[in-house]
Amino acid sequence: MKPRVFNHVNNISRLRELRKEEWHAGLRVGFVPTMGALHEGHITLIRQAVKENNNVVVSIYVNPTQFGVNEDLSSYPKTLESDLEQIRRICLECLKDSSVGQVTTVFTPTTDAMYPNLKPTSEIEGHGSFVTITPLASMLEGASRPVFFRGVATVCMKLFNIVQPDNVYFGQKDVQQTYVIRRMVEDFHLNTQVHVVPTVRESNGLAMSSRNVYLGERRLAVATVFIRSLQEAEQAFKRGKHRRLDLLDAFNKVFVSEQEKQRALPKSRRAMFDVDYISLADPRDLTELDQVRPEIGAIMSGAFKMMPIEDPQDGEKTGLGGDKTTVRLIDNLRLNPISPSGVQHSNVLSDLD
């Protein structure tokens, strides 16, 4: 019989006791690692996990080692009570559906528990026990955020060792992260299966992110520029454009046009933004491409920054913090393979899952 409520655990020993009971009972366990501030993207991962496992563990832990020295660790949204309430609602859904499993444990460890010896550091040359996955972790996001994937791989290795899941679930929005985690699982022979779930988007197309809470209505409306630019490149690919130059031109057609449009507006109405990086990569290993092979396709990804609102207006709906900080967002789109007959395969996860 499914439990009506989950175990809220912050002690590693207690989690291992629960996991041992599940192992002896022959139960299949899924795991969804999160940093909290749950949104519909996280909920989709949890719902996928309960479909495919008897029991599901969700972790909520803001990991300090994946934030750079000058990044937004202290201001990262922390909404534990709201997160727990959302998970309770999923538990009630599961009780009504005999075909799915249940969220049985929410794990909220402390940093002292996760890093029991040296204090965690975000210094590039800092001391500690880290997992590094190169060259994957030094490309793209890793070039902009040099300690990010070291922190992600390290905390995921710790969590996987603690939870010992049969299956783990990640979102496609963080596409490079999925490659880093899969490489780590393969290279260290971890006994878990990595599942990648399609990106969940806001009604306007913006990829859901915990950082979206920092965007007020003005920046939210303009932030769709990145996915619209990616979609323009996707259409160019479908029309037979395979050169990097042509695909980036298609991207910039939308991106630069929107930049010029915003610059022309008065400060009281505009929302400025800039690109951090844009990548056109081989879906097999994320190496950059000059020419896309249509039978293989590509992953187009990148990061962009929504700049602070310059002249907020009285009564304007602003984001958390009043739209006063730069918000860095990421997104990606798969240019799906096209067969020799001209048919485009629609399974965006075909090379990831």
* pLDDT, tens only, 250-276: 999 999 999 999 999 999 999 999 999
Closest CA to 192 of 49, 94, 334: 49
Show the CA angle centred on residue 52, arms to residues 48 and 56, nearest 5°.
75
As a whole number of angstroms, the distance between CA 224 and CA 240 comes to 25
Mean pLDDT score of the chain = 94
The separation between CA 332 and the C-alpha centre of its own chain, rounded to angstroms, equals 11
Q: Name the active-site residue from 8, 24, 39, 42.
A: 42
| DSSP 8-state class, residue 127 | -
| Contact yes or no for 242/335 (Cβ under 8 A) | no
Closest CA to 103 of 228, 7, 181, 35: 7
Give the contacts of 56 (CB within 8 A, at least 6 positions apart).
Answer: 29, 30, 31, 32, 46, 49, 50, 101, 102, 103, 104, 105
Cα torsion angle, 253, 339, 299, 202, sign: positive
Share of the chain above pLDDT 70, in %: 96
Known catalytic residue: 39? no
Residue 315 neighbours by CB distance under 10 Å: 5
Statement: residue 344 has pLDDT above 80? no
Task: Enumerate the H helices of the chain as residue ranges.
Answer: 12-24, 40-52, 80-95, 111-114, 141-144, 148-163, 175-187, 217-222, 225-238, 244-264
pLDDT of the residue at 72:
73
| Contact yes or no for 210/76 (Cβ under 8 A) | yes
In 3-state terms, what secondary structure has residue 251? helix
pLDDT of the residue at 346:
57
As a whole number of angstroms, the distance between CA 210 and CA 214 comes to 9
* pLDDT, tens only, 316-331: 999 999 999 999 999 9
Cα torsion angle, 334, 77, 255, 289, sign: negative
Residue with tokens 């909220």: 108
Confidence of residue 3 (pLDDT cuts 50, 70, 90): confident
* Lookup: tokens for 223: 């932030």
* Lookup: tokens for 321: 């913090």
pLDDT of the residue at 215:
97
pTM of the model: 0.94
* pLDDT, tens only, 272-283: 999 999 999 999
